[in-house]
Amino acid sequence: MDDSILDAIGSPLVRVASPAGATVATKVESFNPGGSAKDRPARAMVEAAEREGRLEPGDRFVEPTSGNTGIGLALVAAAKGYDLTVVMPESKSEERRRLMRAYGADLELIEGEMTDARERADELERQGLVQLRQFENPANPESHYRTTGSEIVEQTEGRTVDAFVAAVGTGGTIMGTGRRLREAFPGMRVIAVEPETNAVLSTGEAGVDDFQGMGPGFVSEITDVDLIDAIETVDLAAAEAECRRLAREEGLLVGQSSGASTLVARRTAARLADAGSEVGPDDQSGAAGSRGSGTDPTTDGGGDDPLVVTVLWDSGERYLSTGLFD
């Protein structure tokens, strides 16, 4: 018996449709209590603030978010007895708003993007609220090093991971998980995924996109670009088509960044199967040239086949109002 809902954080590793001669496996993060990968850093950042004496039960803290971190923090705040103010761009889905409020968080919606949400949270911090600062807080990637990465090492049961693919938002997952997996599998490649129209890692220039959960429009302070071996971009239409495929062909209901991550993971696996050691992208032009269409969901990758691991970040339930699955 767990003493707290927070002790239930963790997720399975599940094989999905994979190219012949390779295996793609995904961490299904909707199994976390708050329904996303962000439960991990949410708990870690709050507990780090407790150890530092910055938070005590009954305090109020603030955080800017595109949604999932806010939901995770609302869960943690409810379980630990804190009050929470979440600052979020008004463009994010209705389900995100309702979930945060259901856990008791106060929600402040703003016009603009994540940079604007960060500025508003900074204002509230100057007024006396504690801010956890997910984009620069080392507890964020450390939580994935200790949990997500370690779980993958255990769940792969002795198989070598050849590549780890992850969409980039705060950078916490790709940094922490990538670092832990690189320790276990020194030859492994780390591949970042970002929106085609907001490819700040690829181009150094911020753009505009409609993804919810990746592509904040800046490179966070916790992102060490030297850990990343390759960057691929995905357009929103391709990512959403992959979400529908995952739901209707594999029973996995996931959101946009999960669709993008899976597309790149399947492309990477196809290259590995075809060329042995060639992992880098053929180009950086986005999803139009995806090689995933030839995958076979019944393929049972053998222990010697290349293994690519990625992350399904959250549940598609929090995207239903967007028309994603219509």
Residues annotated catalytic, as ranges: 38, 257
8 Å CB contact between 91 and 319: no
Please report how many Cα atoms fall inside a 13 Å half-sphere around the Cα of residue 149, on the Cβ side: 25
Pairwise CA distance, residues 117 & 108, whole Å: 9
**C-alpha distance across the termini of the chain, in Å:** 40
Q: Look up residue 318 and give its two tokens.
A: 């929090």
Q: How far apart are CA 188 and CA 272, in angstroms?
A: 12
Contact 181, 135 (CB under 8 A): no
208/51 Cα distance (integer angstroms): 38
Q: Of 325, 306, 307, which is closest to residue 316 (Cα–Cα)?
A: 325
